[in-house]
Every structure is written in structure tokens, then in C-alpha cells.
Amino acid sequence: MIIIQTSMPSYLVTGSSGQLGQCFQAVNKEFPEINLFFTSQNEVDILNSESITNFYSKNRFDGIINCAAYTNVDQADIEGESAFKINTEGLQNLIDFTEHKNLSIIHFSTDYVFDGQSSYPYHELSEPNPLGIYGMSKFRGENLLSKSSCKNVTIRTSWLFSPYGKNFVKTIATLAKAKKKLKVVDNQWGRPTNGIDLAKTILKLIFNNSIFTFPILHYANHGVCSWKEFAETIVKELNLKVEINGIPTSAYPTLVKRPKYSILDTQRIEKELKIEIPSWQISLKKCIQNLKNEEGF
């Protein structure tokens, strides 16, 4: 049974200046029944427990939406210590605080906790096997949260894009305006996710009080594509004439091995929590329209 909140819930949003944090800021006005505190690293640093305590003493909240994360997949294999520090130690600081104050945590993870060797979509109970430091650090964070006594949920998502921060859509849009030909990997498959859709979903689940029904949820926009198909659709939406040539992963060497097939199964959030998920094509169209309006793409 879904219970509507009787009092306005308040949440601290860490990492508000990052891509996902900015998505929450963008949809905040659509949810006047939820009070969100947006903080940058200067105000609340998850590696500094004292900064969390100081903010709470002045602004009481019921839980934390943790958007603070180390997300540079390749750089993580060079800066492993930083990746683990932010994605595990930082999260542990939040866990310690919420356990002490009897608060809750909404945390985000990634399809990179899987190795991509499956032929079927990964559901929440699929066995993780991360290939690189980034995925390992996020998986370790998941484990820390699963062992905590605070009310919590981990949201795994994939191929995040939005009008904010650095992401594949903005990168392709920039390159497509400067070049006539692009080479894009065509043998990695996933489900692109609009951060705006994700943020709206989280706030809907907070409002109807079902966000903590399960310990792990998968959220990604409907539809499966390769990076090449994703790039082709981006260019088409921008009305640019750019030739997109597909290349295998082997022709685009990166520091870390990426999962070849990282399709997230979202049936739990759709069927059990009654969330409707739009296709990535529809959400991409909206994203690019926002980019055109705000940044002149």
C-alpha cells in the first residue's frame, strides 16, 4: 500500500553542482511538497564529517540524497585512491551520520558494477562483477550501505545524460558541430538515462513514501542501443549532417575495460512501484531541446 506523506519531508542533496545534482535542482519546483537543501562541496563535503554535522545543526533534514560521487571511469584507474575515498569513505561518513541521527540515505550506483558478459538484462539480484576501479568503488559503496542500519536504497542507473555537466550527449553535440565525420564504438550496448527523468522519479517515490520499499532499484530509460546508434540519434535531433562510422571497442582503447552489454532490467521499479519510464529517444529529444534553449546548440 502506498502512503502519502502527511508532513513535508526534507532532504539534503549532496554534490548539487554535479550533473545529477543539477537535475534535481531543475525539477525541484515541480515538487513543492518536498523540501530540498542543495549544497556544493564547499558547504557539505562528504569527506568531512564535521561539515555534515554543522549543516544539520542549522538545517534539519530527514534524509540524504547522495549525488556526490567520483564518476570519471578512466581516470579512476589512475586515481584509484580518490575514487575509493569519495565513493566509499565519503559514503561511510554519510552512513555513520544517518545511523546516529536515525535518518535515511538515497544513493546512486551504476551499470559498471556488472562485467557485461550476460546475454540478458541485469536485474537487482544479478551478481555484480566490476571490471575497473570505478565499478569496484561503486560496488563497495553498495555493500557498505547494504550492511548499514539506516533506512536506505541504492539506485543503479546507466549512460546518464542531461543538459548539465559532462556527458555523452553534450560531447557528441560539440564534436558534431566541429567535424564532418565521427568514429563511435558500435559493440557496447546499454540503456541511456535522462537525469531529469531519474530525478523526477526519485522525488515521486519520496512523495508517495515508497522509495525505501526495496534495497536496490534499477532505473534507465526504455530502449537499448549502441553508442553509435545513440550518437546517430543525437546528430539527427540536432539536424546536423555528420557521418558516424562505427568502430569496435578494440579500435578505441581506454584505460579500463567497459562492460559490453550492461542492460539494466527495470521491471521492479515499473511493476512493483508503478513507475512509467519513457523511451530514451523521447527523453533525448527533450534534452536536446533544453540544450538548444539554454546553450544555443
Q: Is residue 247 part of a domain?
A: no
Domains held by the chain: number = 1
Secondary structure of 264-287 in HEC code, one letter for each residue: ECCHHHHHHCCCCCCEHHHHHHHH
Q: Is residue 177 part of a domain?
A: no
Domain interval for residue 141: 10-167+191-221+262-278
Q: Domain with 109 in it: what CATH number? A: 3.40.50.720
Q: Is residue 295 part of a domain?
A: no
290: number of Cβ within 10 Å: 17
Taking the CA atoms of residue 191, residue 166, residue 108 and residue 286 in that order, the dihedral angle to the nearest 10 degrees is: -50
Cite the active site residues: 134
Q: Is residue 268 part of a domain?
A: yes
pTM of the model as a whole: 0.94
Q: Is residue 267 part of a domain?
A: yes
DSSP string, 198-263: HHHHHHHHHHTT-TTSSSEEE---B--EEHHHHHHHHHHHTT---EEEEE-GGGS--SSPPPSB-P
How would you write the pLDDT of the chain (297 residues) with one tens digit per residue? 444 445 789 999 999 999 999 999 999 999 999 999 999 888 999 999 999 999 999 999 999 999 999 888 878 878 888 999 999 999 999 999 999 999 999 999 999 999 999 999 999 999 999 989 999 999 999 999 999 999 999 999 999 999 999 999 999 999 999 999 999 999 999 999 999 999 999 999 999 999 999 999 999 999 999 999 999 999 999 999 999 999 988 887 776 778 899 999 999 999 999 999 999 999 999 999 988 887 666
